[in-house]
Amino acid sequence: MATVALDRKNSKKLTAALLRLGRVRGPVKDETGVVLGDLTSKSDPVLEYQNFTLPAKREFFPQCEAVAKFEGDNVREAADGDRAAVVFGIRPCDALALSHVERVFCDEKYADPYFRGRRDAALVISLACDKAGPSCFCTSAGGGPASAKGADILSSNIGTALLFDSVTAKGESFLKKNKGLFRKPTAAELTKREKQAADVSRRMKAVDTAAAVKSLAAGRPAAFWEGISETCLSCGACTFLCPTCHCFDLRDDIGTGARLRVHDACMFATFVTEASGHNPRARKGERMRQRVMHKFSYAPENYDTVFCVGCGRCVEACPSNIDIRETLAGVTE
Amino acid sequence: MSRTANPYVPYKVRIEKVTVENDERDLKTFRLAFCDPSDGAAFSHRCGQFAMLHVPGAGEIPIGIASSPLDKGYVEFTVKRYPTGSVTTALHDLSDGDTIGLRGPLGNGFPLDALKGKNLLVVGGGFAFTTLRAAIRYLLHDSVRKDYGDITIIYGARSPGELLYKQELAEWQKRSDVQTHITVDKGDASWKGREGFVPAVVSQVAPSPANAHCIVCGPPIMLKFTMPPLLTLGFAPEAIITSQERRMSCGIGKCGRCNIGPKYVCKDGPVFTYAQMMEMEKRGE
């Protein structure tokens, strides 16, 4: 299906069409900046922002959710949480990350019913980037400012208008059903979109991810990992903000009788500590190795792609200024 | 959505019998029966697989299945209680008639079907012997024994009182169709059997590697020192089968906790050949 356009002045009509599908998550302003929140009929979606501080995975894999309930000695599955019908405005890096997490959560043997349910319920409309942040490197991590993978529809903000391309059948169906909203884009608008994406790509510093993946396949000595993790505080900020990190713990909440799934992090000291007290990754260097190897060696081996989308959140959030781009450059030295 | 479609919801099982296995009283075997018989019919495991045991309110733990698939009507697990382990402690506090949750069977299991016609050396140490006991019970079953060649068992524990499944060990020692070598690190006044560490006993017994595979489970230190004598005897790394343990949350390859290199112990394992282990560990694990 060809690209369609919507004048910015009509963006509230788009919101209305989306709201007819159900609950809409989209870019809204709060006291912290632009965040992914509930869009209402009154909201005119904010379209000027670099990226959300929190990754979009949280819409599909919440930080805490019940996967089972127990009453006395009976256990049953938990009711489905509040599902979004639309997730609009996530950046292409977060959409790509969503496709990575989906491959883990919904493999050939076990489909995670909670992730599957939320992803199937939602129409994901990503928004191409019109500028590059100082830590962005998506073009070196399998994506790009206008990468469509993981979304149902890719939208682009070219100032006076929004352009839309369907990526999946679900996306195409929405655009077709609402064709009255859209018009044909002009040749100038399409050119502007191309130029915008090319400009953003150009402003990003390239990282030689392929060389790093190749080098890591042979492993790196313990001293290397000890070195790069020396200043690490084991705070886990990098993992909680990472759109592809999907580690979790399951624990019983006695108060509510729920078996909860909560985000967890391989950077925490006791992440793999066993009941006996044995900790296979007792050293910070071993935990750093796990994080870097998982993303840039094990994922390429198991999924044929790095589990990093170059969003740069870990770079910006690290209190010790550990920069994954420098780590990747370091492994090939 | 049916329960089988939701991999996080356990089967409800009832504790039928609790057996204290050792003098320290920190190893107990729990015999579990499915509260809903149709769950029991659906639960079909292979030797070497594990399951998650859920003590409501305390949490879940991955434990190897200690009973044979041919033991019908129940499933057994031998669990060590750790003072620092909240779930193992909660489980040890339960008794006959209590109900818990069970998810599984999980993991790959020993490739016993592929080993038909082979001679088998089964080497175990400490309480890692549980899944080996499942395999031995299966292999020695009347309907199965004829499918395999010579079977040799080497099993060691710290002291006579720490040996698991004492009655079964005595029965196996009486059989002529299996060579059973039991050893303890240090015997006591009543111990008339072998003394010595498992690796040394492997060298002394020296089973032939011809047409043979070895299944070896034990604490990391035992595994480390048992591999060299096995290799010296002529067992190829591909013919040495071992089982790994790691902390787990989901047991189905999603929670990101139990990997050794690129492999998840829960879904790619827990059973790996020694050749696979060396490959998995080469990047640093």
Chain A residues with beta carbon closer than 8 angstroms to that of B58: 252
Structural domains of chain B, with CATH: 3-106 (2.40.30.10), 113-243 (3.40.50.80)
Contact call for B99 and A73, based on CB within 8 A: yes
Residues in chain B predicted with pLDDT less than 50, given as ranges, are 1-3
Q: Select from B56, B82, B283 the Cβ nearest to the Cβ of A293.
A: B283
The whole-angstrom separation of Cα A327 and Cα A144 is 21
Distance from CA of B147 to the nearest CA of A (A): 31
CB pairs under 8 A between A and B: 130
Q: What pLDDT is stored for residue B4 in this prediction?
A: 52
- Residue A281's contacts (CB-CB under 8 Å, 6 or more residues apart) are A266, A271, A272, A287, A290
Q: What is the pLDDT of residues A134-183, one digit of tens each?
A: 999 999 999 999 999 999 999 999 999 999 999 999 999 999 999 999 99
What's the whole-model pTM score?
Answer: 0.94
The whole-angstrom separation of Cα A311 and Cα A323 is 12
Distance from CA of B172 to the nearest CA of A (A): 31
Which residues, in sequence order, are bridge partners of residue A165?
Answer: A154
- Residue A231's contacts (CB-CB under 8 Å, 6 or more residues apart) are A320, A321, A322
For the range B39-43, what are the long-range contacts, defined as Cβ-Cβ under 8 Å and sequence gap of 24 or more? B39/B11, B39/B12, B39/B13, B40/B73, B42/B4, B43/B11, B43/B75, B43/B102, B43/B104, B43/B105
The whole-angstrom separation of Cα A193 and Cα A128 is 9
Chain B residues with beta carbon closer than 8 angstroms to that of A247: 255-257
Contact (Cβ atoms closer than 8 angstroms) between residue B41 and residue B131: no
Specify the pairing of strand B179-184 against strand B194-195.
parallel
Contact call for B249 and A271, based on CB within 8 A: no
Chain B residues with beta carbon closer than 8 angstroms to that of A272: 246-247, 257-258
The whole-angstrom separation of Cα B10 and Cα B6 is 9
Q: Is B61 on the interface with A (CB under 8 A)?
A: yes
Q: Provide the chain B residues 196-255 that lie in CB contact (below 8 A) with chain A.
A: 245-247, 249-250, 252-255
SS (H, E, C) chain A: CCCEEEEHHHHHHHHHHHHCCCCEEEEEEECCEEEEEECCCCCCCCCCCCCCCCCHHHHCCCCEEEEEEEECCEEEECCCCCCCCEEEEECHHHHHHHHHHHHHHECCCCECHHHHHHHHHCEEEEECCCCCCCCCCHHHCCCCCCCCCCCCEEEEECCCEEEEEECCHHHHHHHHHCHHHCECCCHHHHHHHHHHHHHHHHHCCCCCHHHHHHHHCCCCCHHHHHHHCCCCCCCCHHHHHCCCCCCEEEEEECCCCEEEEEECCCCCCCCCCCCCCCCCCCCHHHHHHHHHHHHHHHHHHHHCCCCCCCCCHHHHHCCCCCCHHHHHHHHCC
Q: Is B6 on the interface with A (CB under 8 A)?
A: yes
Q: Is B257 on the interface with A (CB under 8 A)?
A: yes
Contact call for A77 and B6, based on CB within 8 A: yes
Distance from CA of B55 to the nearest CA of A (A): 9
Contact call for B262 and A112, based on CB within 8 A: no
Please report the beta strands in chain B, taking only residues with DSSP state E, as ranges in sequence order: 11-20, 27-34, 50-55, 59-64, 75-80, 99-106, 119-125, 151-157, 179-184, 194-195, 212-217, 240-243, 259-260, 263-264, 271-273
Distance from CA of A104 to the nearest CA of B (A): 6
Q: Is B87 on the interface with A (CB under 8 A)?
A: yes
Chain A residues with beta carbon closer than 8 angstroms to that of B82: 275-277
Q: Select from A219, A245, A280 the Cβ nearest to the Cβ of B282.
A: A219
Chain B residues with beta carbon closer than 8 angstroms to that of A254: 57
Residues in chain A predicted with pLDDT less than 50, given as ranges, are none
Nearest chain A residue to B98 by CA: give it.
A73
Specify the pairing of strand A153-157 against strand A161-166.
antiparallel
Q: What backbone phi and psi angles, to 5 degrees, belong to B221?
A: -65, -35
